[in-house]
Amino acid sequence: MIRRIGQWLLIGVMLVAIGGISGRVYLSWQNNHREASTTAQYQEHLDDTTQEVEDLKEELDRLRTEDSYYEQLIREELGWVKDGEVIYIIDDKT
C-alpha cells in the first residue's frame, strides 16, 4: 500500500515538474517570437527611413544642380509665375 502511494506521489511530482518545464519553454518561445516580431518591425521602419533619406538626398542634389527643377517646385508649391504670365484657374465642378 505504501509502495503504491509512493508511486502515485512520484508520478504526481513528475507531472508537476513536466508542467512547470513546459510552461517555461512556452513562455521562452513566446518571448522569442515577440522579440522576432518587434525586430522585424524595427527593420521595416529602418528600411523605410533609409529609403526616405535616399529620396531626400536625391531631391536635394537636384535642387542644388538643376535650376529648372528648382523653378518647377517654386511654381507648383508656391504658385509663382514669371512676369507677363497669366494663370487661368479652371473650375472642374461643372
pLDDT of residue 94: 62
- Which domain, by its residues, includes 33? 2-78
Q: Is the pLDDT of residue 26 over 90?
A: no
Cell of 67: 535650376
Position 83, amino acid: D
Q: Is residue 91 part of a domain?
A: no
For residue 46, report the phi and psi dihedrals to the nearest 5 degrees.
Answer: -65, -45
Position 27, amino acid: L
Q: Is the pLDDT of residue 87 over 90?
A: no
Q: Is residue 84 part of a domain?
A: no
Q: Is residue 87 part of a domain?
A: no
Residues 4-18: pLDDT tens digits?
777 878 788 888 888
Domain count within the chain: 1
Residues 29-86: pLDDT tens digits?
888 888 888 888 889 999 999 999 999 999 999 988 888 888 888 888 888 888 898 8
CA atoms within 13 A on the CB side of 12: 6
Higher pLDDT, 1 or 65: 65
